[in-house]
Structure formats: structure tokens, C-alpha cells
Amino acid sequence: MEKQDLLNKVFEKILTPDEAEQVLDYYLEHLTVADPPIHEMLGFSVKEWTAYAHSTPLDTIAEWRVNGWPNQCFVCKKEIVSDNYGWFPREYEGKYGLRHIVCPDPAISTV
């Protein structure tokens, strides 16, 4: 299977998110042990693949790639450095953002 940049195709509107999911499903169904890791074949960074694995929509991840990742936890409002992990992507107030797995302030509820 050939390598491609699936998120770029979504961002550039070459593929809809649903079409991109179909491509991703095809790759997952036809992956062999001789193939490189799926995220590499589809042009995802490890961080992007992590967000996808946590159910973040492809168009959201594509947008973050181009315009920058969220850098503030929507729960505690403290900084999140997305390259350092320790976060979950979640929908908040109608759009996706990042939240700490455990907010640094123990007084903040992370439920």
C-alpha cells in the first residue's frame, strides 16, 4: 500500500472526513506485518495518531495540524504542551479541546 497524507487531504477538502475514514478502514483491513506502522503510512505523527485513537475527528486533527494545537486545559485553564502528552482530547462547549489527564491543581475536579 502506498503512503499518503490523509490529514492533508481532509484539510484541503480533497477527501471528506467520511471518505478519509473509509481509506483508513481499508488500510487497517489490509495491513500486513511487512507494512510500516499505519500512522506512518497515512502521514500521521504519533501525537495526531494518539488524538485519533481517542476519537478526535479527522477534520479536527487536520485543523490542529495547520492552525496549532490547543494549548490550554479546558478544565483547569492551565497550559498544556501537546508534545508532552498527559492530555485527552474531548468535546467541550461544542468543539474539541484538550484536557489534562490529571490537572496539576489537586483542588480541580478532573471527572
**Does the pLDDT of residue 87 top 70, yes or no?**
yes
Closest alpha carbon to 97 in 66, 67, 74, 80: 74
pLDDT band with cut points at 50, 70 and 90 for residue 29? very high
Each residue of 44-80: pLDDT tens digit? 999 999 999 999 999 999 999 999 999 999 999 999 9
The domains of the chain are located at 1-67, 69-111
pTM reported for the whole predicted model: 0.87
What percentage of the chain carries pLDDT values higher than 70? Answer: 95
| pLDDT at residue 106, as a whole number | 63
Give the pLDDT score at 101: 93
**C-alpha cell recorded at residue 20:** 478519509
